[in-house]
Amino acid sequence: MKDTAAPYVTTDGRQIGDVLMDMRGITLRFGGVEAIKNISFDIREGEIRAIIGPNGAGKSSMLNVISGFYNPQEGEVWFRGEKRPAMKPFQVARLGIARTFQNIALFDGMSVLDNIMTGRLTHMKTGMLSQMIWKGRAEREEVENRAVVERIIDFLEIQAIRKTPVGRLPYGLKKRVELARALAAEPKLLLLDEPMAGMNVEEKEDMSRFILDVNDEFGTTIALIEHDMGVVMDLSDRVVVMDYGRKIGDGTPSEVRNNQEVIDAYLGVAHD
């Protein structure tokens, strides 16, 4: 068991917080296939934690375990010092974990604003009936939620598309809207599944800046999966490297970059 006493300083010299989420001995099987083999690592408060690895390494499965979509056959997930029982995704969302998806999952026919408002769902207390009547508490609540959403719209600089149906937006902007929706939940832990996939250089730069700004301004802890090595090394405080469902490296970007096993996994070595 790891020492959870703050402060924790990475070897790169950045101070990060207590353990927020601790994955202990996670094993995930699909029938006979072991997607994740006995992996342990932690995510600390306020850090940007990347999970990298070649195709089929089990990164997305890992993210789905964190988000509660998959329940591992073995191992324990500890969140904020408590063991998390098997949960449905909506229950995990209430714990303060929000995510974006590799293939954008927005409501195409709805406006950007409405899409982001759906991210406030876990913060809405009034029932359907009072929302229909739209007086008093329900109205107040909507105003408060709208204020939060507007701040996020301002933050991500998407004012110009506020009323545009998501279906009409280009890919890069959809990704940004998805990030906005995840942020609207005001999560403790934000999971990003390949936030830069399919983007051009300029869009990647924008997205990187937003991720850093979110981490900086809101203090949101971020766990992300990403293919673009340059981006990962620049953004993250610590990196977990996976290959064939195993963890082969864990540490700061500079530590991971010099790890022989990681280099082999990425560049390929003769298997003899």
> Based on CB atoms, which residue is closest to another protein, 12 or 154?
154
Shortest Å, Cβ 219 to another protein:
10
> Based on CB atoms, which residue is closest to another protein, 19 or 117?
117
DSSP characters over 59-72: HHHHHHHHTTSS--
Token readout for 262 is 């990681």
Q: How many whole angstroms from its chain centre is CA 183?
A: 10
If you ran DSSP here, which 8-state letter would residue 54 be given?
Answer: S
Sheet strands (E) in the chain: 8-9, 15-16, 19-30, 33-44, 48-52, 74-79, 82-83, 97-100, 189-193, 221-225, 238-243, 246-251
> Based on CB atoms, which residue is closest to another protein, 93 or 231?
231
- Of 57, 58, 64, 26, whose CA–CA distance to 42 is shortest? 26
Helix (H, G, I), strand (E, B) or coil at 58: coil
Shortest Å, Cβ 95 to another protein:
27
Distance CA 272, CA 270 (A): 6
- Of 193, 246, 183, 184, whose CA–CA distance to 215 is shortest? 183
> Based on CB atoms, which residue is closest to another protein, 19 or 156?
156
Shortest Å, Cβ 11 to another protein:
19
> Based on CB atoms, which residue is closest to another protein, 26 or 214?
214
> Based on CB atoms, which residue is closest to another protein, 74 or 213?
213
Q: Could you list the residues that contact another protein (CB under 8 A)?
A: 146-147, 150-151, 153-155, 157, 159-160, 162, 209, 212-213, 216-217
At residue 112, what is the residue type?
Answer: V
Which phi-psi region, left, alpha or beta, contains residue 96 (left: φ > 0; alpha: ψ -120 to 50)? left
User: Cβ(44)–Cβ(19) under 8 Å?
Assistant: yes
> Based on CB atoms, which residue is closest to another protein, 92 or 153?
153
> Based on CB atoms, which residue is closest to another protein, 43 or 161?
161
Shortest Å, Cβ 129 to another protein:
27
Contacting residues for 247 by C-beta, under 8 A, at least 6 apart: 39, 40, 41, 240, 241
Shortest Å, Cβ 150 to another protein:
4
Shortest Å, Cβ 214 to another protein:
11
Q: For residue 206, what is the enclosing H or E element?
A: helix 201-217
Shortest Å, Cβ 105 to another protein:
25
